[in-house]
Structure 1
Amino acid sequence: MKALRLGTRKSELATTQSRQVADRLTRITGRPVELVGVTTFGDVTRAHLTQLGGTGVFVSALRERLIAGEIDIAVHSLKDLPTAPDPRVVIAAVPPREDPRDALVCRVKLADLPAGAKIGTGSPRRVAQLRALRPDLEYVPIRGNLDTRIGKVAAGELDAVVLAAAGLNRVGRSHEIGQLFELDEVLPAPGQGALAVECAAGRTDLIELLAVLDDPATRAEVTAERAVLAALEAGCAAPVGAFAVIDREQNREKPLNLTAAVVAIDGTRSVRKSTAGPATSPMELGRDLAAAMIADGAGTLMGERIH
């Protein structure tokens, strides 16, 4: 049986999560899968991601390889995907989500860090929300893989770094987490902790095969979160957090609870709203919540990003 070619970025985290997807697909279907390393623009540029708009810099190269037929499947961190659909590809599966929260890699909690301590993060969303909690700390923009970022703490260049808990869990480094931020402290990026498994839109055989990996609840949750981001006309580098969860305790309607926030980059002002609705209409729920946030002045916190 011919192996499916799964395209992935070459970092430890990307290859680890791609291998997990590949192994699960093989276990369920018996189809062998081989990984194909792909270098993306986001991997080679030295520019900070906020200068590039953030969205899509890790995605385009993988999609181009899909369209060219050089790979059969691509695995992305879902939070890296642009919210605008690409008609050439389809998200054939959204596997069950890992922990969506942000994590502080440090020996102490955020509250115990001394004034002026240096915190590394490349995310304006994290900086804005952390400044609301600790405006007396210094937030330093950083790039690089997990080893590089965590290494800056070990070397004493930084007092702590903030990373996605999901990534640390996937590569077996959760023991380095000093604090997991609860959702009322730091809302995660839309789609954080989830993966997207893509294939070319015309590959109906793959769409059917990959469906075994899909978790409908996770798909509904991240669809609502990304609908907020899209309606706010914001990219993944914007100071927008969102989190949705289906109440799995309800046997009938299974309501979808959604919370989102836009936070000024200095952390002094924010618009935060929550709503709930049927899990069967996640897109509409996200759009309606974004409209309510704009009506409450969210646009003024992001300059011209929201109209």
Structure 2
Amino acid sequence: MTGRTTTLRLGTRASALALVQARSIADALRERGHDVELVEITTKGDVSRAPLDRIGGTGVFVTALRDALLDRRVDLAVHSLKDLPTAPADGLVVAAVPEREDPRDALCARDGLKLSDLPDGAQVGTGSPRREAQLRALGLGLTVVGLRGNVDTRLGKVADGTLDAVVLARAGLSRLGRLDAVSEVLDPMQMLPAPGQGALAVECRADDDELVGALATLDDAASRAAVTAERSLLAVLEAGCTAPVGAYAEAAEGEDGLELYIRAVVASRDGTMSIRKSATGSVEGAERLGRELAHELLDDGAEAVIDARDPAS
């Protein structure tokens, strides 16, 4: 990199999935002529096994990495984009959103069963309130079980018979070479993914103009537009309600060129209430599109879903 004599220090969590993701970014930068070394950072989310919504939500996987950036212990960090809080971080910038993996959720069930094949009362594991809410809303009589741990730990609960199935992000399974464990990729009409699921965020200090420019070569415009719409929707809803949120935006050719189509759901944890809406707009207006759809959800009563009984209470 012109003007930089030191190796780029790339901060990453130490989990198997995080390391695979970080190595993919390191390899892309090396292909562009940069020297890169990985620096493993332990986050609060890696240490605690408590449910995420009890220890601080998505930020638990991010704060330590951001601190390392601001302290100049690392030069850039790679995050699963769905782990990033929607509020911007002072002094930092998401310099690249590389091409997104398939963002859908995947069912990993015993005996290769599909969701509709699972018997009444089947035990399905997930650590996500969003997945829990949508699974319950399907009315299949499933028993949703709280679950934390890495991919191998979760899949092991199915292999040893503790659970009938788990629901995981297809993107993570793909990156780890574990698509063989998938018995069904879930249609977004049944299960909308988390905002930003399947995408990576490459973050660095905003004042490092040279690195910001270098990372921009990794950015994928369509992926960035899609996650921008999803995250702007989430940002509005986080201020207006605390119910589980799913969202999925796609860029596709329309009558007037490239358009962005977004679907979203707000659901109660017990699955008794859900509101789904969709919208189409320009790629350039991604942030506005997500924001306006969020306000439509709120106008239709999204706040009311938080009053539904929490199944854990």
Q: Do they superpose with TM above 0.5?
A: yes
Aligned length: 301
Structure 2 unmatched runs, 5+: 309-313
Instruction: Please report how far the alpha carbon of residue 242 of structure 1 lies from its aligned counterpart in structure 2 after TM superposition.
Output: 0.4
Q: Is the 8 A contact 1:135 1:267 kept in 2?
A: no
2:257 counterpart SS class: coil
The one of 257, 278, 285 aligned to 1:281 = 285
Residue aligning to 1:68: 71
| RMSD value, Cα | 1.6
1:4 aligned residue (2, 8, 15): 8
Alignment partner for residue 53 of structure 2, among 47, 50, 55? 50
Q: Residue 107 of structure 2 aligns with which residue?
A: 104
Alpha-carbon shift at residue 114 of structure 1 (Å): 1.1
Cα distance, 1:239 vs structure 2: 1.1
Letter in 1 for 2:50: A
Q: In the TM superposition, what are the counterparts of 1:138-287 in structure 2 within 5 Å? A: 138-233=143-238, 238-247=243-252, 249-250=253-254, 253-287=257-291
Native 8 Å contact 2:49 2:149 kept in 1:
no
Q: TM-score, normalised by structure 1?
A: 0.95
Q: Deviations over 1:27-58 (max 9, x none)?
A: 1x210211111100111113211212412000
Check whether the contact 1:228–1:289 (CA below 8 A) recurs between aligned residues: yes
Note the C-alpha offset of 1:113: 1.0
Q: Distance in 2 between matches of 1:61 and 1:282?
A: 29
Q: Which residue of 2 aligns with 1:290?
A: 294
Q: Which residue identity does 1:92 align to in structure 2?
A: A
Cα deviation per residue 1:186-210 (whole Å; 9 max; x = unaligned)?
0000000000000011111110010
For residue 82 of structure 1, what is the aligned residue in structure 2? 85
**What letter matches 1:165 in structure 2?**
R
Specify the SS of the correspondent of 2:94.
strand
Distance 1:147 1:234, change over 3 A: farther
Using a 3 Å threshold, how does the CA distance of structure 1 residues 238 and 167 change in structure 2: closer, same or farther? farther
- Equivalent residue of 1:140, what SS? strand
Residues 1:296 and 1:252: Cα distance change in structure 2 (over 3 Å): closer
Show structure 1 runs of 5+ residues with no match.
none
Letter in 2 for 1:147: D
Quick one: which amino acid aligns to residue 264 of structure 2? A
In the TM superposition, residue 270 of structure 1 has moved relative to its aligned partner by: 1.0
Question: SS at the partner of 2:22?
Answer: helix
For residues 238 and 77 of structure 1, do their structure 2 counterparts lie closer, same or farther at Cα, with a shift above 3 Å needed? farther
| TM-score normalized by the length of structure 2 | 0.93
Q: Find runs of 4+ consecutive structure 1 residues off by over 4 angstroms.
A: none
Distance across 2 between alignment mates of 1:2 and 1:180: 43
Instruction: Quote the residue 1:300 is aligned against.
Output: 304
Q: State the AA in 2 paired with 1:77.
A: S
1:289 partner letter: L
- 1:39 correspondence with 2:26: no
